[in-house]
Amino acid sequence: MLADFGNATMLYTSLQFTQSSTSITSTPRWTAPEILEGLTRHTEAGDVYSLGMTILETFTSKVPFPGKVDLALIFHVVLQKSIPTRPNKIIPPKSIDGDRLWSILTKCWTYNPKNRPIARGIWEGIKSITPDTLMVIGGKAEGKLKDNSKE
């Protein structure tokens, strides 16, 4: 289970979650622009945005938008409608699944929440992606795929 630690509370003997704060003290690196702007509170589309950031963090071992302070990050995401830079060494173009994974992530970060995919669609899209399918095909392969073209 992935959660925004500090927001979980026990209520009526079952696990419940409090509504996410829209203040700067929340986690803006994972928070959807519409929530940062105060246009809405917690939504499934906002969760999808956060899921995309969490998937990126899982692959890169870095927080989204590393090197940016929170206030600058909010300006970057809300006003400039920016998304993270593609980490080409980790999610390489010209790999079997690199472009597919990046496309899924960028759809998660679509500025208009109505245009974001649903969580099930994200799972269906990424469940078959492996380190082998993220290796570059041909040229300067960074992985260990066997080149059968010379046999």
The domain segmentation of the chain, as residue ranges, is 24-134
150 vs 78, more confident = 78
57 vs 132, more confident = 57
CATH match of 24-134 with 1.20.120.140: no
Residue 17 three-state SS: strand
Retrieve residue 129's tokens.
Answer: 């992606």
Out of 44-58, 84-98, 133-147, least confident range: 133-147
137 vs 128, more confident = 128
Cα pseudo-dihedral 78, 111, 51, 71, rounded to 10: 0
Spatial separation of the C-alpha atoms in residues 137 and 92, rounded to whole Å: 10
pTM attached to this predicted model: 0.74
Sign of CA pseudo-dihedral 54, 59, 65, 66: positive
